[in-house]
A and B are shown apart, each in its own frame.
Chain A
Amino acid sequence: MVSPYEQRFGLAGRLDWLDAHQGLLGLGGVGGQYTVSETYFGASVAAYARVYNPRAFVCTHGYVFNGAVVSGNFDIGIYNELGTKIIAAGATAQSGTSQIQWVPLAATIPAGWLILAFVADNITATFATPNTNIAHYPQGMIEMLGWARETAAYPLPAALTPVAFGAITELPPLFGVVRRWP
């Protein structure tokens, strides 16, 4: 049974799935929508999102929502609460415009606090981002919502050194990890 809290914050019926933007409906304007194509916010700048995994599961894929222009490479992975990498895909060529790109990612993901990570090596690549009115994200907000970043982080490092985002004009892409079936 999924708790009302998990239902409210996007886990209802969808265990074994961690999304970097889960739990953010409470702040940020109109939920449930996204901008289909935004350029990545910083070349080789990793975005880190802390999430909660209610139960351990075997992950099969990472995913990211590509925008209208694909370019270069990205990496996607997941870290434990202490910032040590559990698994990452490594350098992956961005492929397939305006669609979800699936990346094989096989690992057992433990329950508890985790950190999802994504980095692109260029700012020509585009991705879908939450259609959250940026006015809801004044400088300093994104860090209070469980995000951080790290420069020169392509491919994803073995351990995190997170720092503040600072002022942002674009949100990190829609990405996550999942036990996909089929």
Chain B
Amino acid sequence: MSLGNGGAIYDERVALARPGILHSLMDISDKMYLNETAVPVSDDANTAYRAYFVQVQNPQQFAATHAWWSVGSVGGGNFDMGVYALYGDQGLSLLGNIGSTAVGSTGQVQATAFSSPLIIPSGPVVLAIQFDTATTEIMCENFEPSPAPSWNNLLSRLWGFSQEDFGSLGLPVTTSATDPITPFFQGPPIFGVSNRMY
């Protein structure tokens, strides 16, 4: 886009005000505030080897140094995180992942470095997280006041979340995430990738 201003043309780049960060809540913040968020809640992964996906729009290419997630109240087991390119109706193609990693301390954000900085292209991409247990918990956004809108398979799908079951830990090179089915997390799970400053 460009803006004419007294003859001068400015090339206004479409970019995030907070560069170098993609996370599971970034494209739904306005919708969340319509529903008023409460303190995040810890919720379990529900099914071993199930992977959760969220589509986000990356306005500006950058190099991600870390994948991160907000560890819930119950740890244990291992997880994998990655980023997929989204190719129309051809499914998801893995750009990079961190590989099997032991779940860290509960109640903290666990940040794991990519083996080398992962170039995230501009445009639609899909963030993914997978656990090898059903009991590991992740922090999720929450809604209030009660009665809260139903964060169910329909709303989560609308907000770009989906899931797929696998037989082992390790995000596949290619996949097509199926529609979310109940039960799903109590609210949007909190995870993302970032270019860390140090």
> Which residues from chain A sit less than 8 Å from chain B, CB to CB?
1-3, 5-6, 8-11, 22-27, 29-32, 48, 50-52, 54-55, 111, 113, 115, 133, 135-136, 138-141, 143-148, 162-164
Which B residue's beta carbon lies closest to that of A141? B109
Q: Give chain B nearest CB distance to A127 CB in angstroms.
A: 20
* A55 with B12: CB separation less than 8 A: yes
* A138 with B18: CB separation less than 8 A: no
Q: B197 is contacted by which of A50, A138, A140, A141 (Cβ under 8 Å)?
A: A50
* A5 with B109: CB separation less than 8 A: no
Assuming the contacts A3-B1, A135-B40, asked whether A111 and B13 have C-beta atoms less than 8 A apart, the reply is: yes
Which A residue's beta carbon lies closest to that of B14? A3
A-B contact count (CB 8 A): 131
Assuming the contacts A29-B37, A113-B20, asked whether A54 and B196 have C-beta atoms less than 8 A apart, the reply is: no
Residues of A near B93 (CB, < 8 A) are none
Interface size class of B (residues with CB under 8 A): 35 or more
Q: A55 is contacted by which of B10, B26, B71 (Cβ under 8 Å)?
A: B10
* B196 with A144: CB separation less than 8 A: yes
Q: A26 is contacted by which of B3, B25, B40 (Cβ under 8 Å)?
A: B25
- A selection of 7 A-B contacts at a CB cut-off of 8 Å is A10-B17, A26-B27, A32-B33, A52-B19, A143-B109, A146-B21, A162-B198
Q: Residue among B10, B15, B108, B109 with the most chain A CB within 10 A?
A: B15
* A30 with B37: CB separation less than 8 A: yes
Which A residue's beta carbon lies closest to that of B59? A5
Residues of A near B13 (CB, < 8 A) are 54, 111
* A9 with B111: CB separation less than 8 A: no
Q: 6 smallest A-B Cβ distances: which pairs?
A: A23-B18, A140-B109, A23-B17, A26-B29, A9-B17, A52-B19
